[in-house]
A and B are shown apart, each in its own frame.
Chain A
Amino acid sequence: MTDKRRMIIKQGLFEQNPVFMQALGMCPALATTTSAVNAIGMGVATTCVLVMSNVVISIIKKLIPEKVRIPAYIVVIASFVTMIDMLMHGFTYELWKTLGLFIPLIVVNCLILGRAESFASKNSTGLAFLDGLFMGMGFTGALFILGSVREILGNGSFFGMQFSEVKLFAFVLPPGAYLALGLLAAFFTFVSGRLSKSSKKND
């Protein structure tokens, strides 16, 4: 594995984590993470769109004139989002119902357009695929942690399995989303700061 690839993986998952570090895609990160299952569903749907749009955009990047690149990216992204929306409607009906409006709204997730503009349009297809995959996984992971914390504290359950009667409703409601996100982001920054310090020492 070349250094560049290793860097892409590390950046997607940690150093440039879309939610905790770049603060991209806040709307789905706050609104769909009421439970761990919803969070994973949203994360996977976004990852699929991100990987496919990254790959397609890196393939057609030379065809797209500079002036109309944004509309072209949006057409590609919106098409993939609509496809995912229809597929989920048909095959994962329950999840599709709970996520509701947030699936079509993946179109305006700045993470996806951001990666198309800053990465896929400048790199090879292979790297764009890898970037989409690991940015998506970083996003999914962040949503999953946020969803788990909120479900455990707010509903006393994990993946729908009830284990506690202690329910802090606030964590299921929007204020809890902000609280949990802020605390997790702080924790994430703290840990990754420690990690980069110790890796520098080792060097």
Chain B
Amino acid sequence: MLEYLKTGLILMAITLVAGFALSLIYELVREPIAEAELQEKLQAIRTVLKDYATSEPIMNEEKIPSDSESLDRFTWDPEGFVAEDGIIYTSPSIRGAVYSPVYRFDLPDNGQVFVLVGESQGYGGPVSIVSSFIVRDGGVILNGIEVIEYAQETPGLGANISYDEVKERYYPVERSGLQSGLKVDKDAGVSPTTDTELMNRRRREEGVIQTSDVMTGATITANAVINALNLMYEFLSEAGVLQ
């Protein structure tokens, strides 16, 4: 009996010491972790706030947020939407989620930029993206995307989504393309082309995204990005900003 008690007490002592050490480390890294995640988000927002054509910032560079306080000022609360567990919008028809908060930036020419963070299911886990939609003079255009989470995608295939030349295949898309819903070339029934002009026109006007890996026809990660983008567009329509 006494031996059991002693054994239990020793184990308890070990776990207590371990728990205490862990809490110390946690206190030490809490701020760096929050900082690292914020920096990544800010960097992604800075990237999507660049004009797709010129790669120049679409708004006054000094106004682009560089810390959490200045970012909070751009938070946008659409009417009729309540954020739950950090998610502001899900849809019955499209898999994925739009995260809260959503950001809105006003442009000098009466236009508005909506920056959304969202995710959809990829090959091995969630693929999270940040995107920017510019709403101006009754029109809307998908201006840019940045992928922030793709850890579970296949290296060499899906994980190539992190390369700029692959991301560039997803934007810009105009209203007609967004309205019919983005889809990969295979699902749209068109064959891949090496003609960049044709590829860009298909995407811009019809929402057809040519996948990066023509050889294997792998589309899971591409579809994750596309689902997230379609979901974001649906959210913006339902929020009534697209007239």
Q: B29 interface residue, CB < 8 Å from A?
A: yes
In whole angstroms, how far apart are the Cα atoms of A86 and B19 in the complex? 14
Q: B14 interface residue, CB < 8 Å from A?
A: yes
Q: B26 interface residue, CB < 8 Å from A?
A: yes
Q: Judging by beta carbons under 8 Å apart, are B36 and A76 in contact?
A: no
Q: Kindly list chain A residues whose C-beta atoms are within 8 Å of the C-beta of B154.
A: 173
Q: Judging by beta carbons under 8 Å apart, are A76 and B14 in contact?
A: yes
In whole angstroms, how far apart are the Cα atoms of A86 and B27 in the complex? 10
Q: Judging by beta carbons under 8 Å apart, are A100 and B11 in contact?
A: no
Q: B151 interface residue, CB < 8 Å from A?
A: yes
Q: Judging by beta carbons under 8 Å apart, are B29 and A86 in contact?
A: yes
In the assembled complex, how far is the CB of residue A30 from the closest CB belonging to chain B, in whole angstroms?
12
Q: Kindly list chain A residues whose C-beta atoms are within 8 Å of the C-beta of B10.
A: 63-65, 68, 72
Q: Judging by beta carbons under 8 Å apart, are B22 and A90 in contact?
A: no
Which of the residues B7, B18, B36 comes within 8 Å of A75, measured between beta carbons? B18
- The 0/1 profile, CB within 8 Å of B marked 1, for residues 11-45 of chain A is 00000000000000000000000110000000000
Q: B155 interface residue, CB < 8 Å from A?
A: yes
Q: A190 interface residue, CB < 8 Å from B?
A: no
Q: Give the residue among B6, B22, B30 with the most A Cβ atoms within 10 A.
A: B22
In whole angstroms, how far apart are the Cα atoms of A78 and B22 in the complex? 10
Q: Kindly list chain A residues whose C-beta atoms are within 8 Å of the C-beta of B7.
A: 65, 67-68
The interface on chain B, measured as residues whose beta carbon lies within 8 A of the other chain's beta carbons, has a size of 30
Which of the residues A64, A90, A169 comes within 8 Å of B29, measured between beta carbons? A90
Q: Kindly list chain B residues whose C-beta atoms are within 8 Å of the C-beta of A63.
A: 10
The total number of A-B Cβ pairs within 8 Å is: 75
- The 0/1 profile, CB within 8 Å of B marked 1, for residues 92-110 of chain A is 0100011011000000000
Chain A's interface: helix, strand, loop or mixed, by majority? helix
Q: Kindly list chain A residues whose C-beta atoms are within 8 Å of the C-beta of B149.
A: 97
In the assembled complex, how far is the CB of residue B190 from the closest CB belonging to chain A, in whole angstroms?
25
Q: Give the residue among B3, B6, B151 with the most A Cβ atoms within 10 A.
A: B151
B2-34 contacts to A (CB < 8 Å): 3, 6-7, 10-11, 14-15, 18-19, 21-22, 25-26, 29-33
Q: Judging by beta carbons under 8 Å apart, are B25 and A86 in contact?
A: yes
Known: A89-B36, A90-B29. A72 touches B14 (CB 8 A): yes
In whole angstroms, how far apart are the Cα atoms of A91 and B32 in the complex? 7
B interface residues (Cβ-Cβ under 8 A, vs A): 3, 6-7, 10-11, 14-15, 18-19, 21-22, 25-26, 29-33, 35-37, 39-40, 149, 151-152, 154-157
A interface residues (Cβ-Cβ under 8 A, vs B): 34-35, 60, 63-65, 67-68, 71-72, 75-76, 78-79, 82-83, 86-87, 89-91, 93, 97-98, 100-101, 154-155, 167, 169, 172-173
